[in-house]
Amino acid sequence: MKTYFDGVMNMHNSSLLQLLLEKMEHLDEAALVNKKVFNVANLQRYTGWSLSKIYKLTSARLIPFSKPTNGSLFFEREKIEQWLLQNPSYVEKELEEKVNAHLRNHHRSKSI
């Protein structure tokens, strides 16, 4: 027969287990960020993309990857980060600053 104490201990153990699982996930994420080379599963976790999307991008050669064994795909984290950050979209203030800088530089070169 379960007692009140057993119920409290089960809830406590369940809370501890949940906390441990969350801590393990954070450790996994920290380890992933420190990796230099990703496999497909690492890239999926890093970007949140589906396997289908990753394979479509590599098939179309739209994403940087290596295939040293004619089977397994590998991705350099730094190259992936550069690729992800290409073609940025600027907020209005950033665009205005870029236009003004371009006009200043363009105006100087014409007056020289």
Residues of the chain falling short of pLDDT 50: 111-112
Contact between 99 and 110 (Cβ < 8 Å): no
Helix (H) or strand (E) holding 75: strand 75-76
Cα–Cα distances in Å, from 28 out to 15, 33, 34, 45? 20, 9, 10, 10
pLDDT at 22: 76
pLDDT at 57: 96
Q: Are residues 30 and 74 in the same domain?
A: no
pLDDT at 92: 85
Which domain does 98 fall in, by range?
A: 35-111
pLDDT at 75: 97
Number of structural domains in the chain:
2
pLDDT at 110: 54
Q: Any idea which residue has 């450790």 for tokens?
A: 27
Q: What is the pTM of this model?
A: 0.59
Q: Are residues 1 and 47 in the same domain?
A: no
Q: Are residues 46 and 68 in the same domain?
A: yes
**What CA–CA distance (Å, rounded) separates 50 from 111?**
53
Contact between 75 and 43 (Cβ < 8 Å): yes
Q: Are residues 9 and 39 in the same domain?
A: no
pLDDT at 14: 80
Q: Are residues 64 and 49 in the same domain?
A: yes
Q: Are residues 9 and 47 in the same domain?
A: no
Q: Are residues 73 and 25 in the same domain?
A: no
Q: Are residues 46 and 2 in the same domain?
A: no
pLDDT at 18: 82
Q: Are residues 99 and 45 in the same domain?
A: yes
Q: Are residues 1 and 19 in the same domain?
A: yes
